[in-house]
Amino acid sequence: MLTFLQLRLPDTYPLKVTFTDKSTGSPRAWKWNFGDGKTSNEQNPVHTYNKAGKYTVSLKIWNAAGTSTIKKSYYIYVKSSLKAPIADFSAAPAVGKVPLKVIFTDKTKGMPASWKWSFGDETFSTAKDPVHIYSKTGKYTVTLTAKNARGTDTETKSKYIIVSNRK
């Protein structure tokens, strides 16, 4: 009889899994395939999954009578540790005279993959840390929308940039 046991499932990556061979018939050799391109010849290997996904695991054993293989489809489920972003940003300087060159710095938590900035003067950017020049006086509301595979979040700061004619 050929069986194996996986001890930890499901979890986020990196996921360290201990596999235990429960085969009978006195196996002399083992070939584990962990489903992520990695293999092992150990009887009871420890393997680390470094990406989210569903993995099919197989074990082939050899003994005096021949070989036997067991395959368990989607046996390991590794979740992504990625969470939806929490948008945040800063700007420097936030107050100044025309023309005002402002450097925006993304401070979003949650590993955003894309950004959409609205500078409050009908101009936009998709850069992570854009530089913007305000050419008219006013109080500008700035909005950042950050997005990743888990979701979207928006941070708006009202009258955040103040541009005047005075020094």
Mean pLDDT over residues 137-145, rounded?
98
How do residues 117-139 score in pLDDT, each as one tens digit?
A: 999 999 999 999 999 999 999 99
Would you kindly state where each structural domain of the chain is located, as residue ranges?
Answer: 4-79, 89-164
Number of neighbours of residue 143 by Cβ within 10 angstroms: 18
**Neighbouring residues of 102: CB distance < 8 A, sequence distance ≥ 6:** 91, 92, 93, 94, 96, 131, 132, 133, 134, 161
What confidence score (pLDDT) does residue 12 get?
Answer: 67
Report the C-alpha gap between 139 and 160 in whole angstroms: 7
Confidence of residue 100 (pLDDT cuts 50, 70, 90): very high
Q: How close are the terminal C-alpha atoms of the chain, in Å?
A: 84
What confidence score (pLDDT) does residue 121 get?
Answer: 97
Confidence of residue 8 (pLDDT cuts 50, 70, 90): very low
Mean pLDDT over residues 33-47, rounded?
97
How do residues 76-96 score in pLDDT, each as one tens digit?
A: 988 877 789 999 999 999 999
Q: Do 4-79 and 89-164 show the same overall fold? A: yes
Mean pLDDT over residues 58-77, rounded?
93
Using the predicted structure, report yes or no on whether residue 150 has a pLDDT greater than 90.
Answer: no
What confidence score (pLDDT) does residue 15 get?
Answer: 86
Residue with the bigger pLDDT between 96 and 16: it is 96
CATH 3.40.50.2300 fits 4-79, yes or no: no
CATH 2.60.40.10 fits 89-164, yes or no: yes
Using the predicted structure, report yes or no on whether residue 99 has a pLDDT greater than 80.
Answer: yes
